Amino acid sequence: MPQSRFAQVRDGILQGATQIASPNFNARPAETDIQLIVIHNISLPPSQFGGGYIQQFFQNQLDWSVHPYFQTIEGMQVSAHLLILRTGEVIQFVNFNNRSWHAGRSSYLAQPECNDYSIGIELEGSDDLPFEPEQYQSLVEVVQILRQAYPKIQNHLAGHSDIAPKRKTDPGLHFDWSLFRRLLAIQASSKKT
């Protein structure tokens, strides 16, 4: 496995990721450790890739008149810590030390409000299309680095649909959890040698 392109996390910033600031965050509650990664998918318009609309959406700069679908999400203020594009490029919108607004009403292992203690990672994608190999590769590299930076994460990796099952379906049936966990185990063991 090639060396990770993402060296480390420094002061809540993933070194090697493109940085675009989102205003949609606030402070985590005091003395809250990061202990979960939540995986999502998003595409704007749905199932269409590229175009930069997700980036604009997370910056509250999306022109709602561009597409009819955009009017259904008009005014929503959301974000994620990271977005992984179809090319595997990783964009960071919110410092990991802050609380990004990705999960909504949610619960993991009976602990509510996942935004308080999680890192949200969006994959550019949709529920009805496979993800790209480059996205799995970037996701695995990023998750491995995050687990080293925030050891309480361990194997606490969930989909949005796992923490908000009645409301959310992402990352969807095309997200290959077994492939992801297999690649992650390879990445983790290569780091030890």
Catalytic residues: 122
Nearer to Zn ion, 4 or 40 (CB): 40
Contact status, residue 63 vs residue 9, Cβ threshold 8 Å: no
CB-CB neighbours of 98 under 10 Å:
14
Which 40-99 positions form the footprint of Zn ion (CB under 5 A)?
Answer: 40
Q: Spell out, one character per residue from 145 to 184, where the chain touches Zn ion: x when CB under 5 A holds, - when not.
A: ---------------x---------x--------------
CB of 61 vs Zn ion, minimal distance in Å: 20
Contact, 99 vs 25, CB < 8 A? yes
Alpha carbon distance 98, 34 (integer Å): 10
Bond into 45 cis (ω within 30): yes
Scan residues 31-50 and list those touching Zn ion (CB under 5 A): 40
Minimum distance of Zn ion from residue 40's CB (angstroms): 3
Which residue, 39 or 140, is less far from Zn ion as judged by CB? 39
Nearest to 82 by CA among 36, 178, 18: 18
Given the rule CB under 5 A, which residues bind Zn ion?
40, 160, 170
